Amino acid sequence: MRRAVCAAARLGATVRSFATGKEAYASREEVTNRVLNVVKNFPKVNILKLSPTSHFQKDLGLDSLDAVEVVMALEDEFKIEIPDSDSDKIVSCADAIEYIATRPSKKESLIHHF
């Protein structure tokens, strides 16, 4: 367990309740990188227009169904569940980064990246 905590510290992850295995926070930098990686894998996305502030529809040309699929892909990536009331408000990479960076996710979502 000590090695895992040290590995998390080296990667800049902030780990909370590690001993219980319930919750962990990823660093904003890690969240940003992972969000951008998820979004760039969508066929309609022009990666030259992708940035941490890209709006899904205005900048990336995604329609509302694509935006829903992005949110679902982010849920899979971060092992979280985003309620519909919150997912409707995630319309840009910045919104996704802010939402995910400020909420705990399952420990496994951090560990599989070590």
Q: 63 an active-site residue?
A: yes
Q: Which two tokens stand for residue 84?
A: 């519909």
Beta strands in 25-66 (DSSP E): none
What DSSP line would sit under 82-98, residue for residue?
Answer: --HHHHTT--BHHHHHH
Task: Say if CB 63 and CB 93 are below 8 A apart.
Answer: no
- Long-range pairs for 47-51 at CB < 8 Å and ≥24 separation? 50/93, 51/93
User: Among 59, 63, 84, 86, which one carries the catalytic annotation?
Assistant: 63
Q: What positions carry a catalytic annotation?
A: 63
